[in-house]
Amino acid sequence: MTAGTPDPLIEVAGISKQFRTRSGDDVVALSEIALAIPVREFVTIVGPSGCGKSTLLRLIAGLVAPSTGRVRIAGAPVSGPRRDIGMVFQVPVLLPWRTVLKNVLVPAEVIGLERRAAAARAHELLELVGLGGFADKYPSELSGGMRQRVAIARALMHDPAILLMDEPFGALDAMSREAMNLELLRIWDASRKTIVLVTHSIEEAVFLADRVVVISARPGRVSDVVEVRLARPRTAKTRSEPEFVRIAERLRGHFEMVQAA
């Protein structure tokens, strides 16, 4: 097991996950994954496509059950989906018939939060993600980056301790992506959440993280864990610092090995 702080918020212990394909073969998606994530840490998980990193996120979220091993959150085993987690998916998953505000309010509605307090909080969150003037717009009126911001505001609505993000900026162009990375760090700083973010972009993984977890493909195994000691707040210049370049190189090495294999 990875040595972490004594009381990790998220503890993944000896997780394996097998899937049975339609043709009846067993595919090992994840094998013997162990991770300990303390409160307020920003962890990124990077790996080639098909390495099971999205599955790992779903296991932590309780949306998928592991074949062996166990996930604990704040010491308690995860047995199903839970409300102290906010999810951001690869696509924004907005409801097109609801305004931006009503989309952000979905978790409040499901959980049954008091309406006026919830609406006030939703407005605050929209300010936080930089969409203050867009509460009454419909998703079809927004750009891809703006929609994903709405999804982030929605994930924060019920004030979960943990934010799980599955390649949230994968569909954005490079420029919006870098802008969203800065935004996300600002939001993380303001909201004091523990974030686990899955990405296949090495740059993004290093830029955001306190710690980068590298997962290899088939079966998905933790092949490296890298501490990122770059100063915060990070800016566009962070990407050209020698430390950034060094870590990015190291991570890239893993994927070149994968390709060679």
Partner 1 sequence: MTARPLRGRLERYGPPLLAGAALLAAWEYLPPLFGVSKLLIPRASAVAAALWVEIERGLIFDAFIVTLFEALAGFVIGSVTAIVSAALITRSRLVERALMPYLVGLQALPKVALAPLIIVWVGIGIESKVAIASIIAFFPVLINAIVGFSTVEAEKVELMRSLVASRWQEFRIVIFPNALPFIFAGLNVAIVFSITGALVGEFVGADRGLGNLLMQLNFGMDIAGMFSVLVVLALLGVALHALVRFAHRRLIFWAEPENIETNTP
Closest approach, Cβ 138 to partner 1, in A, equals 6
Class of residue 148 by CB neighbours under 10 A (exposed 0-12, middle 13-18, buried 19+): buried
Q: Give the up-direction half-sphere exposure of residue 261: CA atoms within 13 A in the CB hemisphere.
A: 9
Q: E strands of the chain, at which residues?
A: 10-20, 26-37, 42-46, 68-73, 76-77, 85-88, 162-166, 194-199, 211-215, 222-227
> Judged by CB under 8 A, does residue 115 bind partner 1?
no
Q: Which one among 45, 51, 73, 87 touches partner 1, defined by CB under 8 A?
A: 87
Q: Which stretch binds partner 1 (CB under 8 A): 21-29, 74-82, 194-202, 241-249?
A: 74-82
Q: Which one among 65, 95, 174, 190 touches partner 1, defined by CB under 8 A?
A: 95
Cα(155)–Cα(153) distance, integer angstroms: 5
Q: Which stretch binds partner 1 (CB under 8 A): 7-15, 86-94, 118-126, 188-196?
A: 86-94
Q: Which one among 158, 193, 234, 254 touches partner 1, defined by CB under 8 A?
A: 158
Q: Which is nearer to partner 1, 158 or 193 (CB)?
A: 158
> Judged by CB under 8 A, does residue 70 bind partner 1?
no
Q: Are strands 162-166 and 194-199 parallel, antiparallel or unpaired?
A: parallel
Query: Please, which residues bridge with residue 85 across strands?
Result: 162
Under 8 Å between Cβ of 98 and 147 = no
> Judged by CB under 8 A, does residue 65 bind partner 1?
no
Binding site for partner 1 (CB under 8 A): 61, 63, 80-83, 85, 87, 89, 91, 93, 95-97, 106-107, 109-111, 138, 140, 158
